[in-house]
Amino acid sequence: MADKCHMCLLGRIIICALFTGISGADVTRVFSSGGDVRLSCNNALPGCTSTVWLYNRPSETGSAAEKSNQSAAVELITLGIKRTDTERHERLSLGSDCSLNIKKVTKEDRGHYACRRYVNGQQHGADAQVYLHVLHVSSSSSQSEIRSGRSLTLFCQLYNDDRVSCITLVRIDGLHLIWVNQAGVNLQTDSRFQISFSSEQCLISLTTTLLNEDHNREWRCQLKHRDQLKTSATYTVKYPTPSETNPPSPVTSSKSASAPTQAASADSTLIPVSSSNSEKKSSQTTAASTEQEAADTASETVVCMTAGSLIRVIVSIVEIAVFAAPTVILLQIICARRAGRKNSHHQNEIKMSAVLQ
């Protein structure tokens, strides 16, 4: 029983050493993925020309003993000057107070950082140690698969330094992860969500079936240390637009001369193609023949349109003639009869005048 108490006490001492420095200052930083962080160097001297920042990447595999013996430290800052031979040097900078600034933190940035100072070529004082833990949220589905009616699983994981296991952090020091909604309500109380936690991986998952009203909804994963919020990472549900779910229809171009050019430019990225004068002449001949065919087609279309218009005019004239002929004949008959009446009347007048005489 006494041995167990001693082990628990030893565990607390180790955790306290990680979360609190000798002077009582907080030396552990936990940030969500994507943010900018600032790691303080409490033992820096004025001017930062004596400051060196070291980084130890955590071991992904191996036993606890192997993890405790980390690989050789990488120098990020040497005597106040940023090294440019590191893979992430563009995201690093040294502050005026000799703090190390990291932009757009990712889970690969987690690990153990140490600020060391030198005087006259000799290390001066103990290292200022900083343990960077990163909270990261991911989804089991791609963006195109997220829509109403489908199941969605979210994973929230705390990536730590691996010097101390997640089980130790959770059971001894009271570190825990929870899922909350936009109002800060713990989703563990909602039967719609299935939530599970793995203390070995520091991972909490959330599974639910999406509804129509979940579009643009946020769910947050919170990291708490003894009920005090340390950081959080947010996941926003985004349903794809119709243009993203339905691929565009293939479009054919009537310009046959441009199609070979586009195809050649697309294939040139895969297979180098060399051109010669004969190929250029061939392409020019092909383009000329294509233009001639287009001109012939256009002239044939004009001729067809002219012939069609002429036929319609002739048909209209015939229709008018058919309907107008009876009318013309009737008018001629009427005129002839009127002319006959006038002639007979005129002859009678002549006879009457002769009798009177």
Q: Lowest mean pLDDT of 14-23, 94-103, 197-206, 285-294, name the range.
A: 14-23
Q: Is the pLDDT of residue 323 over 70?
A: no
pLDDT tens, residue by residue, 189-233: 999 999 999 988 899 999 999 999 999 999 999 999 888 998 999
Q: Are residues 153 and 106 in the same domain?
A: no
C-alpha span between 329 and 315 (Å, rounded): 22
Q: Is residue 255 part of a domain?
A: no
Q: What is the 3-state secondary structure (H, E, C) of 274-320?
A: CCCHHHHHHHHHHHHHHHHHHHHHHHHHHHHHHHHHHHHHHHHHHHH
Q: Are residues 118 and 151 in the same domain?
A: no
Q: Is residue 211 part of a domain?
A: yes
pLDDT for the residue 282: 45
- Amino acid letter for position 223: L
Q: Are residues 113 and 181 in the same domain?
A: no
Q: Are residues 35 and 119 in the same domain?
A: yes
pLDDT tens, residue by residue, 112-143: 999 999 988 888 888 889 999 999 999 999 98
pLDDT for the residue 210: 96
For the segment 256-260, the average pLDDT, to the nearest whole number, is: 38
Q: Are residues 117 and 38 in the same domain?
A: yes
pLDDT for the residue 306: 61
Q: Are residues 164 and 233 in the same domain?
A: yes
pLDDT for the residue 146: 93
Q: Are residues 195 and 220 in the same domain?
A: yes
Q: Is residue 75 part of a domain?
A: yes
Our count of domains for the chain comes to 2
Q: How many CB atoms lie within 10 A of CB 288?
A: 11
Ramachandran category for residue 216: left, alpha or beta (phi over 0 → left; psi -120 to 50 → alpha)? left
pLDDT tens, residue by residue, 153-184: 999 999 987 777 888 888 887 889 999 999 99
Are the C-beta atoms of residues 180 and 223 closer than 8 Å to each other?
no
Q: Is residue 247 part of a domain?
A: no
How does residue 24 score in pLDDT terms, banded at 50, 70 and 90?
very low
Q: Are residues 108 and 174 in the same domain?
A: no
Are the C-beta atoms of residues 197 and 177 closer than 8 Å to each other?
yes
CATH code where residue 127 lies: 2.60.40.10
Q: In terms of pLDDT, which residue wins out, 89 or 348?
A: 89
Token pair belonging to 166:
């997640």
Q: Is the pLDDT of residue 307 over 80?
A: no
C-alpha span between 326 and 80 (Å, rounded): 114
Residue after which a domain boundary falls, among 198, 220, 237: 237
Q: Is the pLDDT of residue 7 over 60?
A: no
